[in-house]
């Protein structure tokens, strides 16, 4: 029973970690290297992440600089950024690429907050689904006489406490991200 609950807790933690990584990709008006995570550059016929081809730095609050280690890939990085969905036009000076993040409008901020809330709600649903699955497993174990009625009650209580902990964590992460998005 303990290993079932531990496995469930690990799965719930992965859901929270995934939400945090998704939030890093959200453009909140300030420079964040995480927006480049999904951008792949064609490097000698191989799709390669930008971070493996260049040094990515936050120069100012709203400016990212991308300094490739191989100057021949500069145009490829620029093209990959232009064709991506991040909505920022790269500025190429021949040695490095600058990405200037424009300030977000109030409407755009509200739209991003809605997306962040939806992502948090999806994560909560996944955590609750995991709780349901574990409860089903525990009830099956009780039915098969692998655990006692008391063990079942203790297990159900533990699973609920773990679920509540992760739901609270998701709410805290979401509130922090919403605050970050809404500040000017």
Per-residue pLDDT of the chain (184 residues; tens, 9 = 90+): 888 899 999 999 999 999 998 888 776 667 778 788 888 888 888 888 988 889 988 888 788 899 998 888 889 998 898 888 777 888 988 889 998 887 878 888 888 899 999 999 999 999 999 999 999 999 999 899 888 899 999 999 999 999 999 999 999 999 998 988 887 6
Specify the DSSP class assigned to residue 78: H
CA distance 142 to 150: 10
Residue 14: what pLDDT? 94
Residue 33: what pLDDT? 82
Residue 29: what pLDDT? 65
CA distances 134 to 5, 19, 34, 39, 165, Å, are 7, 21, 34, 37, 16
**Highest CATH level, class, for 2-25+105-182:** mainly alpha
Look at the alpha carbons of 147, 153, 156, 157 in this order and tell me if their dihedral is positive or negative: negative
The fold adopted by the segment(s) 33-100 is Gyrase A; domain 2 (3.30.1360)
Cβ neighbour number for residue 83 with a 10 Å cutoff: 8
User: Where exactly are the structural domains of the chain?
Assistant: 2-25+105-182, 33-100
Residue 46: what pLDDT? 87
Maximum Cα–Cα distance across the chain: 71
């Amino acid at each position: 029973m303990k290993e079932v609950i531990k496995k469930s807790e690990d799965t719930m933690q992965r859901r929270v970690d995934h939400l945090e990584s998704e939030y890093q990709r959200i453009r909140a008006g300030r420079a964040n290297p995480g927006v480049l995570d999904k951008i792949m550059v064609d490097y000698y016929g191989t799709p390669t992440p930008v971070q493996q081809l260049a040094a990515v730095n936050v120069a100012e609050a709203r400016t990212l600089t991308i300094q490739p280690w191989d100057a021949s890939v500069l145009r490829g990085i620029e093209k990959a950024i232009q064709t991506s969905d991040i909505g920022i036009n790269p500025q190429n000076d021949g040695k490095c690429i600058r990405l200037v993040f424009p300030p977000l409008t109030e409407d755009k901020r509200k739209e991003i907050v809605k997306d962040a809330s939806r992502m948090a709600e999806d994560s909560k649903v996944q955590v609750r689904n995991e709780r349901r699955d574990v409860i089903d497993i525990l009830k099956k174990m009780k039915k098969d006489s692998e655990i006692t009625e008391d063990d079942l009650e203790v297990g159900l209580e533990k699973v609920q406490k773990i679920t509540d902990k992760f739901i609270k964590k998701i709410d805290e992460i979401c509130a922090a991200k919403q605050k970050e998005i809404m500040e000017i």
